[in-house]
Amino acid sequence: MNISAILWVAAGGALGSVARYLSMILIGQSVGTGFPWGTLFVNIAGSFVMGMLAELGALAWQPSPDLRVFLTVGILGGFTTFSTFSLDVALQVERHDWMVAGFYAATSVSLSVGALFAAMALVRLVAVG
């Protein structure tokens, strides 16, 4: 166990969590809170950034192990909200709002995974030319 990595994860997690909180407030104020748009946004954006970091790391950039865990496990782990996503789906199911729950779950998963692949393709396009 590497104490340095743990401290970097903790620092990144704090930053990512604050960024998630602020993003969700701003989005809620902009488009309302009737649908979990904030959670949807941070999961898609976080997946996109994760795709960029993964592809950059594979093609052109070799960050230190501490920087890698700071960015991926720390910042993105704190920023993305899969546990919040799960709660949002459960609350909609408990309200018997099956259509919204299904739409939200399918949209979150497909667009988040799609954002990751889009970011990887973008990095390949830019890196390879």
Residue 30's pLDDT is: 97
State the total domains in the chain. 1
Evaluate whether 16 touches 73 at the Cβ level (below 8 Å): no
Question: What Rg, from alpha-carbon coordinates, does the chain have?
Answer: 16
| Domain range enclosing 107 | 3-128
pLDDT reported for residue 87: 86
Are the CB atoms for 105 and 86 separated by under 8 Å?
Answer: no
- The Cα–Cα gap between 39 and 83 comes to 10
The pLDDT of residue 129 is 72
Question: What parts of the chain have a pLDDT lower than 50?
Answer: none
**pLDDT at residue number 128:** 83
> Can you give the three-state secondary structure of the chain, one letter per residue?
CCHHHHHHHHHHHHHHHHHHHHHHHHHHHHHCCCCCHHHHHHHHHHHHHHHHHHHHHHHCCCCCHHHHHHHHHHHHHHHCCHHHHHHHHHHHHHCCCHHHHHHHHHHHHHHHHHHHHHHHHHHHHHHHC
Give me the long-range contacts of 65-68 (CB less than 8 A, separation at least 24).
Answer: 65/2, 65/5, 66/4, 66/5, 66/8, 67/8
